[in-house]
Amino acid sequence: MTEATATTRRKPEPTIGGSVYVKPDTLPWKPTRFDKVSIKVLYENLDAGEMTVMVKLDPGAYIPFHMHPELEQAYVIEGAMHDHDGVAVAGDFIWRKGGSKHDNSSPDGAVILAVYRKPNIYYHAAGDTTTGF
């Protein structure tokens, strides 16, 4: 390497403002349309349908039957969450395949970190569907 080459090479520069720091403890729990279920939105891209949230399930919470159009990832921070495949307790990680369908309950309460690529599709007794929390 010549001296000229060494002096003209640029040092990689960080992207200033490229990292967004979120302090979940400072965010309020916001109610959802489901009784005993609230969320803190950590990241959201409405155009893409992406969302990362903390979900708080109060004791007795129930999230009705729904489909995940794409991959869902969930990490149980505290408590326990149940579905037809089993029970996830604090420290457990669950991922669900796109197109999978289920409901959730939490008899004793839980806090979950959930990552969605697209909003959930909820099925109702009347036969209609809605998306999102």
Q: 25-125 has which fold?
A: Jelly Rolls (2.60.120)
What pTM value is reported for the model?
0.83
Distance CA 119, CA 28 (A): 21
| pLDDT at residue 4, as a whole number | 55
Joined together, the tokens standing for residue 74 give: 């969930």
Distance CA 119, CA 59 (A): 24
In this predicted model, what pLDDT tens digit does every residue of 23-77 receive, in sequence order? 999 999 999 999 999 999 999 999 999 999 999 999 999 999 999 999 999 999 9
| Amino acid letter, 14 | P
- Domain extents for the chain? 25-125
Say whether pLDDT at 7 is over 80.
no
Residue 125 — pLDDT band, cuts 50, 70, 90?
Answer: low
Distance CA 44, CA 29 (A): 16
